[in-house]
Amino acid sequence: MKKPDGKVVLLGDMNVGKTSLLHRYMERRFQDTVSTVGGAFYLKQWGPYNISIWDTAGREQFHGLGSMYCRGAAAVILTYDVNSLQSLVELEDKFLALTDSASADCIFAIVGNKVDLSDDCASPPDENRPEKAVAGCSSKVRKQVRVEDAIALYKKILKYKMLDEKDVPAAEKMCFETSAKTGYKVDYLFETVFDMVVPIIVRQKAEGPPQTVDITDYKPAKRTKSGCCA
Amino acid sequence: MSVKAFKLVSAVEREMLMGDKNHINIECIECCGKNLYIGTNDCFIYHFMLDEKVSTSGKITFAATKQLHKYLGFKKPVSELKAASALTRLLVLCDNTITLVNMMNLEPVPSGARIKGAVTFTLNENPVSGDPFCVEVCIISVKRRTIQMFMVFEDRVQIVKEVVTPEQPCAVAVDGYYLCLALTTQYIILNYNTGISQDLFPYCSDEKRPIVKRIGRQEFLLAGPGGLGMFATVDGISQRAPVHWSENVIGAALCFPYVVALDEEFITVHSMLDQQQKQTLPFKEGHILQDFEGKVIVATNKGVYILVPLPLEKQIQDLLASHRVEEALVLAKGARRNIPKEKFQVMYKRILQQAGFIQFAQLQFLEAKELFRSGQLDVRELISLYPFLLPTSSSFIRSHPPLHEYADLNQLTQGDQEKMIKCKQFLMSYLNEVRSTEVANGYKEDIDTALLKLYAEANHESLLDLLVSENFCLLTDSAAWLEKHKKYFALGLLYHYNGQDAAALQLWVQIVDGDIEDSTRSDLYEYVVDFLTFCSDQDLVWKYSEWVLQKNEEVGVQIFTKRPLEEQEKNNMNPDDVISCLNKYPKARIKYLEHLVLERKIEKEKYHTHLAALYLEAILQLKSGTTDNCMETIELLLKLRSLLQKSDLYRIHFILDKIRGTDLHMESAILYGKLEEHEKALHILVHELKDFRAAEEYCIWNSENRDLQYRRRLFHMLLSVYLNPDSSDCALVMAAVDLLNNHAAEFDAALVLQLVPDSWSVQLLSPFLAGAVRQSIHTKRMTQVALGLAQAENLIYKYEKVKHKGAPILLSDKKVCQVCQNPFCEPAFVRYPNGGVVHTHCAANRHQNSNVTPHSSSSSSET
Ligand SMILES: Nc1nc2c(ncn2[C@@H]2O[C@H](COP(=O)(O)OP(=O)(O)O)[C@@H](O)[C@H]2O)c(=O)[nH]1
Ligand SMILES: [Mg+2]
């Protein structure tokens, strides 16, 4: 078996569409999935590198495994369902802590899936208010989660990780809205993430295998810490 | 989806152990080579020898023969047994104490070495000490939260390390310095050398018995939440996706590439390669599942069974037989590390090929092609599926055992024509792709012949491309096939490629004549002409020349006129033979002579005369004919004139004789011109033809490349003809006036004036006169200029001469010649304008030997 050079992990509540996203990207298809048990992974050749992509189980029962899956990860894709505010809340409440074991320079992406279900008539943020929601496109429902909410979460994550906004990719760049069903922005999501993962792989290779990182001198944030007054 | 990966075979039946004593239960087992040890709840150890028997049908059975049994003397069960074969010791855990007994006679070691206070223990299969006569034992101590490491020698034990764990451990596995521990609420990895620990994942050991199993270097298999079999490395990461067991799994074992698990009702088999469950064997009341050096053993309380793995090849073949290509390939690839390299490669190639045929049969051609390519399939295996494609002479025999189940394409497609066509199209493109690669080496004949047959059958245009480029089509086989499919033109190409041009031509001629039918080329006649033109076999050219000329003499003559240059240079074909051959075909004959005279520029009188005579003949014939072939006549006339004017080789009188008495005045004028009988010529032009323009042009082209005098003579002659006193034709007078006025420069004015009748007015001739005067003055002035220049030049020379005479030149015997460096012995010498003095003979030599002018010779050699 080829040994992967880097790892990308998909986290998020059950049913938000993690397996479907991965399936769409790897197999170019959308089909009904069965609830993921434990976890599954794919190997993706990206340039000269093999990137393993882990699909995790959203079920509460398997949350405990997340930490192990995230260990040494170069990127974590936090996934929610744009039609479920709860799924975004869960990311912060339940899943963020699991990423503590990820690589120190791990990048984060926040993905709102299932945009095909809601009307995505691009409307300026201030207009996107509940009182105006009546004028929606017929069968579709109003999105429950706005991109701005995801961006806010992204910034919270940076705080949590004690990372400086200047040192990491911009929030606008790392918050995606996708549809595994239509394929909308799915390739874009994974390709953007992979492109960002490559420099991390290169750095990890230069520093020696990440597996041998000595956890005693493991510093969660190598970059300048933010939020500290001089 | 199931695979038959294992077979369950009984090893030790209950009678052999306990007879009818129902209270006796199996507690633990150990297997080391052929030795099988069983520990019971009544504190006995049984020792069996296990013999594997393979029946002729390949069925494996095990026969266990009891060697010994030994009572350990406690009222406690024997809870664990581990063999250390290097020490010939069996480690026995009973009543929280590990004792060492001899593997063969089960007697305790005399030293009484033991480890006390062990709840459970395990051996380090990746030992760190490097001492082959020492095993490393890790125990969970009866002391709370304590793990101890021991070194166990033949008859002594030594504690190495004691580690305190954060929670109470309940199961342990070891790899090198790494302990993989199931604690009360989670699994962790602990490096007992550095003390560093790494959390894996939470697990509630109260609810379910944890499983910790080392499955290879630095990798463990753990029972996870929800019945997951989780893989974890010593670095705390997972490199394989989990397998999904039932919730109440009791034990797990590994037999690559399978993970075997035991629960209360079943033995399940998962593949580590794709995490799929592959096999389920019903097995009730099992409570032990362990692997020993690749041998998987399960036990109930009463009996011991062995899970015999079916040979991987058999498993793969089963998968292929049920068309599960993907899984078969995964399994085959996974088996790589368990099979010697050469054997693996042979096996794997074969599997790829078989998989290719499965895909092929499902018309998955892209996949099939890739599999054939990577499996380095002998293309003939594929070709042989198609009836009649392999040449009869081919030595090919399908590989045995066969790569697929199909006799031929008919069987495979079950007569479905559409499928058949698709298969054929695939083979066409596949063969076309591989024919020039190394895949084709050794059987290019078979490939090309098959391709030819496919093309011919499908009426494919590439058939011709194949035949006109380098190919290895076998002649007899291909010829028969092409004939069968009425591809006669192609058959001709095949003959030609095989050097049988005569056969090729015969076929093509038959097609053109309509004796056989093949519409491949509508321009086949032209093709044949072209073919003969470049055909180096002149006998063939002669043989078909009649046929070709009869069809169309003007096109057909190309076989003589357009022959390749290199052949012309060797002059292989005798023009006289060709001409006599062409006697029956006047148009062709003219073309051929034109080719000789005008293109090849052969300077032979007879061809030039012949051509002129033929032109003449043709013209006269056309003229005598009633039909009005004006265009053709004019064309011929122009050609004749051009030949008569340009060539100097034909027999003028001969042609003149033929022309005399006809109305070809212009031509006779040209001929007289050739004879320098200009008066006659001009007379004809002026009086017979009355074509004054032609007369003027005559003067011009006849005086081309001659001096002015000659030209003037001709023009003057023309003037005289115009002014012939015998005729007083007014038109002639006008022509004379025009001639003079338009060509003033071509006349000697003085002579003209003598000739011009006195009656002409100056007015009439004023342009001529003006021109003549201007010319005369111009000439005079030019002459004066030339004279002046010549005088000036002369003066310069004179000055030079005087200058040189000016100073005396002293010649003494001290002076040496500048050329030969010898002194002067005679008074005569040569002096160069630059002052250099040399011997007369040296100067003479020098003039002969070099072109260097004296002026440039060096003058620096004077002493
Ligand atoms: N309409 C729509 N449904 C989706 C989309 N992605 C996933 N689903 C559906 O959502 C359900 C859960 O998807 P799944 O991939 O199993 O989610 P996971 O638990 O996060 O892996 C399935 O029924 C999917 O068919 C999407 O983009 N649009
Ligand atoms: Mg899933």
A72/B239 touch (CB, cutoff 8 Å), yes or no? no
- pLDDT for the residue B64: 92
pLDDT tens for B1-49 read 577 889 999 999 888 887 778 888 999 999 999 999 999 999 999 999 9
- pLDDT for the residue B814: 78
Residue A216: closest C-alpha in chain B: B196
User: The tokens of B354 are what?
Assistant: 């078989």
Compare CB distances from B201 to A3, A65, A212 and report the shortest one's residue. Answer: A65
CB pairs < 8 Å spanning A and B: 67
SS3 state at A74: coil
Residue with tokens 């499965």: B358
State the pTM of this model. Answer: 0.64
Mean pLDDT of B444-470: 93
The verdict on the CB of residue A180 being under 6 Å from ligand 1 is: yes
Whether the per-residue pLDDT at A163 is higher than 80: the answer is yes
* Rg of chain A taking only CA atoms, in angstroms: 18
Confidence tier at A208 by pLDDT (50, 70, 90): low
The verdict on the CB of residue A112 being under 6 Å from ligand 1 is: no
Compare CB distances from B237 to A38, A71, A216 and report the shortest one's residue. Answer: A71
**Amino acid making up residue A75:** A
CB B860 within 8 A of CB B842: no
Mean pLDDT of A193-216: 74
Question: Chain A residues within 8 A (CB-CB) of chain B?
Answer: 1, 3-4, 7, 37-41, 54, 59, 61-62, 64-65, 67-69, 71-72, 101, 211-212, 214-216
Pick B629 or A18 by higher pLDDT.
A18
- pLDDT for the residue B152: 95
Instruction: Looking at the complex, report in whole angstroms how far the Cα of residue A100 sits from the nearest Cα belonging to chain B.
Output: 12
Half-sphere exposure of B245 (CA within 13 A, CB side): 31
Rounded Cα distance between A76 and A56, Å, is 11
CB B837 within 8 A of CB B816: no
The ligand minimizing its distance to the Cα of A11 is 1
The verdict on the CB of residue A65 being under 6 Å from ligand 1 is: no
Comparing A2-6, B31-35, B793-797, the range with the smallest average pLDDT is A2-6
A37/B203 touch (CB, cutoff 8 Å), yes or no? no
Over pLDDT 90: what percentage of chain B? 48
- pLDDT for the residue A2: 58
Whether the per-residue pLDDT at B863 is higher than 50: the answer is no
Sign of the Cα pseudo-torsion (B772, B778, B784, B786, in order): negative
Rounded Cα distance between A195 and B395, Å, is 55
- pLDDT for the residue B1: 53
A216/B196 touch (CB, cutoff 8 Å), yes or no? yes
Rounded Cα distance between B669 and B682, Å, is 7
- pLDDT for the residue B828: 83
What are the angstrom distances between the C-alpha of B594 and each of A141, B588, B611, B654? Answer: 91, 10, 7, 19
- pLDDT for the residue A218: 42
Answer whether B232 touches A (CB < 8 Å).
yes
pLDDT tens for B463-493 read 999 999 999 999 999 999 999 999 999 999 9
Q: Which of A65, A100, A103, A212 to mutate to test the interface with B (most CBs of B within 10 A)?
A: A65
Pick A129 or B335 by higher pLDDT.
B335
Q: From its phi and psi, is residue B606 left (phi > 0), alpha (psi between -120 and 50) or beta?
A: alpha
Mean pLDDT of A14-42: 89
Domain locations along chain A? 6-217
Classify residue A43 by burial, with Cβ atoms within 10 Å: 0-12, 13-18, 19+.
middle
Q: Where are the alpha helices (DSSP H) in B403-523?
A: 409-413, 417-434, 444-458, 462-468, 475-484, 488-497, 501-512
What are the angstrom distances between the C-alpha of B525 and each of A65, B54, B503, B548? Answer: 83, 76, 16, 8
How far does residue B243's CA lie from ligand 1's centre (Å)?
22
Mean pLDDT of B64-82: 92
Comparing B510-519, B571-580, B779-788, the range with the smallest average pLDDT is B571-580
Domains and CATH numbers, chain B: 6-310 (2.130.10.10), 311-377 (no CATH), 385-485 (no CATH), 705-804 (no CATH), 807-861 (no CATH)
Mean pLDDT of B707-722: 86
Q: What is the DSSP letter of A94?
A: I
CB A119 within 8 A of CB A140: yes
pLDDT tens for B310-335 read 888 888 888 888 888 888 888 888 87
Residue B257: closest C-alpha in chain A: A1
Chain A residues lying within 8 Å of B274, measured CB to CB: none
Give B842-849 contacts, CB < 8 A, sequence gap 24+: B842/B817, B842/B818, B843/B819, B845/B819, B846/B819
Whether the per-residue pLDDT at B850 is higher than 70: the answer is no
- Distance, first Cα to last Cα, chain A: 50
Range among A173-187, B693-707, B737-751 rated most confident: A173-187
Which among A32, A33, A84 is the best mutation to test ligand 1's pocket, defined by most ligand atoms within 8 Å of the CB?
Answer: A33
**Which one, of B262, B284, B303, lies nearest residue B40 by Cα?**
B303
- pLDDT for the residue B48: 95
B241/A62 touch (CB, cutoff 8 Å), yes or no? no
Confidence tier at A209 by pLDDT (50, 70, 90): low
pLDDT tens for B275-290 read 889 999 999 999 999 9
Chain A residues lying within 8 Å of B242, measured CB to CB: 37-39, 65
- pLDDT for the residue B676: 85
Q: Mean pLDDT, chain B, as a whole number? A: 88
Q: What is the DSSP letter of B630?
A: H
- pLDDT for the residue A224: 44
Pick B48 or B538 by higher pLDDT.
B48
Whether the per-residue pLDDT at A123 is higher than 80: the answer is no
Region A6-217: CATH code: 3.40.50.300
pLDDT tens for A90-100 read 999 999 999 99
Comparing A25-29, A133-137, B157-161, B553-557, the range with the smallest average pLDDT is A133-137
Chain B residues lying within 8 Å of A61, measured CB to CB: 225-226
Residue B203: closest C-alpha in chain A: A64
